[in-house]
Structure 1
């Protein structure tokens, strides 16, 4: 056999080895994702939100300002960015660039509206939705760590009182500019979304940044899976804000299950981590 043939065989063998390794890694990741069931929570959030009208109030209270924002952002994006992006995409997509540019701008606009609305228009409404869902799931103990709860009644939103722990942190102007600059990278499903899914839950637990990092690293696959599904839903134009709220509900349902130890993630769960942290202090 010639040296060239031997080289080809070695390259092929190496390629097969790499493919097997990647396949094995993919199987482990998919198995962990399936076992956690985290990919189901965004859909459970849609169902739960649709069947619990009390949770609609925070969403309905912000619907018109959000629609106004969406119209303004989308109109501006088409006016200023359609032709420049069309000029670039025509080299990639040819005549189809007319349509792919429209889809790209709709996705870009949806992402911008989502991040602006989440941090400036919807923050209080999202907070109430998350806490209200926990109350509806009888996880009042954890909610009471972060806000006052009114007694009696079956309306979870009506039971929410004064906030004792400040809500989710907002984007700083610098962080927002950086987000817009790297917008194409932020389209990668689950890239950062999963890390923010349980920001309020961690806050209610009183976890330090290091505890949060440990938990997220330990359960990286479930959170990335949830983040992927949530991101895809929130990238759908027009209804992205609706899915922002249903994803919030799904995240709260997941938090309630973790708190009540109804998931496979309860080995080394939040309560156990908290106890370990207290002993270490």
Structure 2
């Protein structure tokens, strides 16, 4: 429990650390600026439509079961619907390649360029980290399109109808499924087989659930949902970097000690 609350390694804090890291590392800014106008226009259009035409009817329906709390649950319901629509549209047409670049750039900046070179060209020179990124040599996907995840998201939306506990249940169950997808690119770089990938996810399922839940909460913020999707990719890469650092330390400890040379024994 103490480890899960550790500020330096708690998985649920990495989405927030991603926001801070993005804000203080200028080489990442152009990746977002290139998507800024479509992000704002698309998000604003979707959320305005949903709140104009679906919020009041859904609150009226929820009020039958929840009374006054229907205003809160209705807001979460509409925000969830908006996040699902915006994410589906934006990820399908605009953002996945950008998320891959963000993830890889952070890994390179954190000293894991060797890992990135297993999947893409990395130029030795460039004005910044992003400009050093070459074309992928293998299929590069930050998170694969998952029809099952979208269907489950839609199925879980009615949980918001449940008074008090409904919203937390919706966030946790959605985070349970979504969390591991944020490390898809990491497993891809490691070339982890499917069976081993499932085992690693199972071992860290609580951490992935907490990460995915916080990531979803951030994406429910109107207008800024896609910005937070990008900063969450930064946080995901920072977590992967920490896991790589730990893996390196473990491998060093497993290496057999080299016997010290003794002049007298040699004689």
Q: TM-score range by the shorter chain?
A: 0.7 to 0.9
Q: 2:63 aligns with which of 90, 110, 113?
A: 90
Tell me the CA shift for residue 40 of structure 1. 2.4
Q: Matched residue of 2:82: which SS?
A: helix
Q: 1:46, 1:246 within 8 Å by CA — same for their partners in 2? A: yes
Q: Which residue of 1 aligns with 2:230?
A: 245
In the superposition, relative to structure 1, how do residues 69 and 187 fare at CA in structure 2: closer, same or farther (>3 Å)? farther
**Does residue 157 of the first structure (1) align with residue 130 of the second (2)?**
yes
Kept in 2: contact 1:147–1:164 (CA 8 A): yes
- CA contact under 8 A between 2:149 and 2:177: conserved in structure 1? no
CA distance in 2, matches of 1:149, 1:223: 29
Q: Which residue of 2 aligns with 1:104?
A: 77
Runs of 4+ deviating beyond 6 Å = none
Distance 1:156 1:183, change over 3 A: farther
Aligned residue for 1:224?
A: 209
With the length of structure 1 as denominator, give the TM-score of the two structures: 0.74
Question: Counterparts of 1:139 and 1:238 in 2: how far apart (Å)?
Answer: 33
Count of aligned pairs between the two proteins: 239
For the Cα contact (< 8 Å) 2:43–2:222, is it kept in 1? no
Q: How far apart in 2 are the matches of 1:177 and 1:193?
A: 10
Alpha-carbon deviation of 1:71? Answer: 2.5
Q: What RMSD, in angstroms, separates the aligned Cα atoms of the two structures? A: 2.9
In 2: Cα distance, 1:93 partner to 1:105 partner: 16
Structure 1 Cα separation of the partners of residues 111 and 2 of structure 2: 30
Query: How far does residue 95 in structure 1 lie from its aligned partner after superposition?
Result: 5.4
Of the three residues 135, 139, 157, the one matched with 1:166 is 139
| Shift in Å, 1:81 | 2.7
Are the equivalent residues in 2 in contact too, given 1:147–1:162 (CA < 8 A)? yes
Query: The residue matched to 1:56 in structure 2 has which SS?
Result: helix
In the alignment, structure 2 segments of 5+ residues that lack a partner are 160-168, 252-267
- Deviations 1:57-97 (Å, cap 9, x if unpaired)? 11111121122221332233235533541331121343564
Residue 5 of structure 2 corresponds to which residue in structure 1?
34
* Structure 1: stretches of 5+ with no match in the other structure: 1-29, 269-281
User: Which residue is 2:171 aligned to?
Assistant: 188
Q: Secondary structure at the match of 1:148?
A: strand
Give the superposition deviation at 1:123. 0.7
Shift in Å at residue 239 of structure 1?
A: 1.5
- Work out whether residues 66 and 121 of structure 1, in 8 Å CA contact, stay in contact via their aligned partners in 2: no
- State how far apart, in whole Å, the 2-side matches of 1:40 and 1:170 are: 23
Shift of 1:219: 1.7
